């Protein structure tokens, strides 16, 4: 990649909080998006083709799919992950083999299921660490989670068919904190384990902050008082962030508790406890952590880092496997992918504790599971092509927006996605005219075909790359020019531009190409054999990197239309 034109800038102060949420719904110009293509091209997959049936890639769900939780009923596995400030919330994946995962729907897909997202931070508020479970005593699936920025906090929704519609939220009383998880015992009793509010508590030491409370499936509410984790055994030798993300399992008559520990960065891990009773002492495994990569060298080839927040599942054949989150830094040592979903077989220690890694064991990027054939067309792992011509009756479940439904701004007409410009901006805390999908590769190409003629100088539409409210690249069609802008709550900065290759109102194609270190942005007329015109090249990809921005989400890329008049 090389810089082919000078980069100039223009600072424009944006209106912060000036427009009301209802004002953002006022429609003006309209963009017509008729295609979107995403092509993954990571080096590891190109250099390491799978050798045969049974081989598969880690992560099994690439890109920002963090805090995975898994459940099996019969031959079917279902998996959910966090969505924070995005809507619809909580993607539901289905698999029959643990390796190939298909996104079947988003569980929280109605505004009444997520009423509190507006006003919250995109990558620090919203839906944290959902857990999916199945109660065999009433044949009902549960998804329980926390809306961190809402006043109510914890809630769950239910379904008898997980691939169908889920109920409205049931808000829970009697518990605080985050990361609730349901457990249904053999005798029909049920419990919630969670991380309590830690305000004023020590950050580390033997204080674990995990609590339990009984749950009544008939009334749908907690029962009685909660009680704390009673810990016995060896404590940590390091000062590590307290436990969170707990899950309970009953295996051969004994209770196992798995928790995330050490924070969410490079010290992240999973630890295991065991007890004869939920109200009894939980023995902390003397060889914890049961999963981590923190003992490995930072500068290693193809590293996986930050592993933790695990969940276990037993196959119909009686084997144990587990899913967990991890990060995959790219060629420049940074990444915009966020926390991804990994899969590994579970091992058992001689003293009867489950674990994934010990000491300097590495999480492999390629594994083997007998009888399974990896299918890249599912769009969950490896290099693949994903496209949309917007001719369906509804948006595909990969498309997500910010904090609420985009139904007021976007609709499908059988030929394209029509998106109205609106005054609610992507840098605010409302619901802008944006639909995006997760970036799943370091090296990728994404393009869209759009027809747009602004009604005034404040309108634009195009391709938006978004990490949070303050870090965004916007390839914008705005009249007779195409501009690459950075967007933040304080300013719009135009860093490069090019003339439109055709008259305003005719179809053009926009494209971004990433090599994992830099982005190149292009435009061309949507005509046969048209050449791509560079708008900007060698644009810093670390601007959207998780290591620079913080937060809990990865970057998304998608379609956007705004009005600043």
Q: Is 67 a catalytic residue?
A: yes
Helix, strand counts (H, E) of the chain:
2, 42
Name the catalytic one among 244, 388, 515, 520: 244
Beta bridge partners of 131: 144
For residue 165, with 0-12 CB atoms within 10 Å meaning exposed, 13-18 middle and 19 or more buried, which class applies? exposed
Pairing relationship of beta strands 533-540 and 518-525 according to DSSP bridges:
antiparallel
Look at residues 412, 422, 407 and name the one whose alpha carbon lies nearest to residue 29. Answer: 422
Q: Do 206 and 189 touch, CB atoms closer than 8 A?
A: no
Rounded Cα gap, residues 274 and 389, in angstroms: 51
Q: Do 166 and 113 touch, CB atoms closer than 8 A?
A: yes
Name the catalytic one among 32, 42, 67, 261: 67
Provide DSSP, 164-229.
S--PPPEE--S--SEEEEEEE-TTS-EEEEEEPP-TTS-SSSS---EEEEEEETTTTEEEEEEEE-
Q: What is the 3-state secondary structure (H, E, C) of 309-375?
A: EEEEEECCCCCEEEEEEEECCCCCCCCCCCCEEEEEECEECCCCCEECCCCCCCCCCEEECCCCCCC
Classified as helix, coil or strand, 293 is coil
Classified as helix, coil or strand, 6 is coil
Rounded Cα gap, residues 439 and 420, in angstroms: 24
Q: Is 123 a catalytic residue?
A: no
Beta bridge partners of 512: 446, 521
Q: Do 265 and 306 touch, CB atoms closer than 8 A?
A: yes
Rounded Cα gap, residues 199 and 191, in angstroms: 24
* Phi (first) and psi of residue 238, to 5 degrees: -110, 160
Catalytic machinery residues? 67, 244
């Amino acid at each position: 990649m090389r810089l082919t034109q000078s980069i100039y800038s223009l600072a424009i102060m944006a209106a912060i909080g000036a427009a009301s949420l209802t004002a953002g719904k006022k429609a003006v110009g309209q963009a017509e998006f008729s295609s979107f293509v995403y092509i993954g091209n990571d080096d590891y997959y190109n250099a390491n083709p799978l050798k045969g049936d049974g081989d598969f890639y880690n992560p099994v769900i690439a890109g920002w799919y963090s805090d995975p939780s898994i459940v099996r009923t019969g031959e079917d596995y279902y998996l959910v992950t966090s969505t924070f400030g995005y809507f619809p919330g909580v993607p539901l994946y289905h698999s029959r083999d643990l390796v190939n995962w298909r996104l079947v729907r988003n569980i929280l897909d109605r505004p009444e299921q997520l009423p509190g997202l507006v006003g919250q931070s995109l990558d620090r508020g919203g839906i944290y660490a959902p857990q999916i479970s199945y109660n065999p005593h009433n044949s009902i699936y549960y998804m329980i989670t926390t809306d961190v920025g809402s006043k109510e906090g914890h809630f769950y929704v239910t379904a008898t068919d997980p691939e169908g519609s889920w109920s409205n939220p049931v808000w829970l009383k009697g518990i605080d904190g985050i990361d609730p998880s349901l457990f249904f015992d053999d005798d029909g009793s049920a419990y919630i384990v969670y991380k309590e509010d830690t305000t004023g508590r020590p950050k580390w030491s033997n204080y674990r902050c995990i609590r339990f409370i009984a749950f009544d499936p008939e009334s749908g509410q907690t029962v009685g008082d909660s009680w704390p984790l009673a810990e016995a055994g060896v404590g940590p030798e390091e000062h590590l962030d307290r436990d969170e993300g707990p899950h309970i399992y009953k295996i051969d008559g004994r209770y196992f508790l798995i928790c995330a520990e050490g924070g969410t960065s490079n010290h992240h891990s999973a630890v295991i406890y065991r007890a004869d009773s939920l109200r009894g002492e939980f023995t902390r495994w003397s060889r914890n952590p049961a999963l981590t990569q923190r003992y490995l060298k930072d500068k290693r080839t193809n590293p996986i880092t930050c592993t933790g927040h695990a969940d276990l599942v037993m196959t119909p054949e009686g084997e144990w496997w587990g899913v967990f989150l991890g990060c995959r830094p790219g060629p420049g040592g940074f990444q915009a992918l966020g926390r991804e979903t990994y899969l590994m077989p579970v091992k058992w220690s001689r003293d009867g504790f489950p674990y994934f890694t010990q000491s300097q064991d590495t999480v492999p990027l390629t594994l083997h599971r007998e009888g399974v054939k990896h299918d890249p067309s599912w769009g969950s792992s490896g290099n693949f092509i994903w496209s949309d011509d917007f001719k369906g009756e509804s948006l595909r479940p990969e498309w997500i927006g910010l904090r609420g439904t985009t139904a007021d701004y976007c609709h499908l007409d059988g030929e394209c996605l029509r998106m109205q410009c609106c005054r609610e901006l992507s840098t605010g805390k409302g619901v802008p005219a944006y639909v995006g999908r997760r970036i799943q590769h370091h090296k990728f190409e994404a393009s869209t075909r759009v027809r747009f003629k602004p009604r005034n100088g404040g309108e634009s539409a195009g391709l938006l790359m978004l990490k949070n409210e303050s870090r965004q690249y916007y390839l914008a069609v705005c009249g007779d020019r195409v501009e690459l802008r950075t967007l933040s709550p304080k300013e719009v900065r135009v860093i490069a531009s090019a003339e439109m290759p055709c008259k305003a109102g005719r179809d053009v194609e926009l494209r971004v190409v990433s090599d994992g270190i830099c982005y190149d942005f292009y435009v061309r007329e949507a005509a046969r054999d048209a050449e791509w015109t560079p708008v900007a090249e060698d644009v810093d990809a670390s601007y959207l990197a998780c290591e620079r921005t913080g937060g809990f989400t990865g970057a998304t890329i998608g379609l956007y239309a705004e009005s600043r008049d």
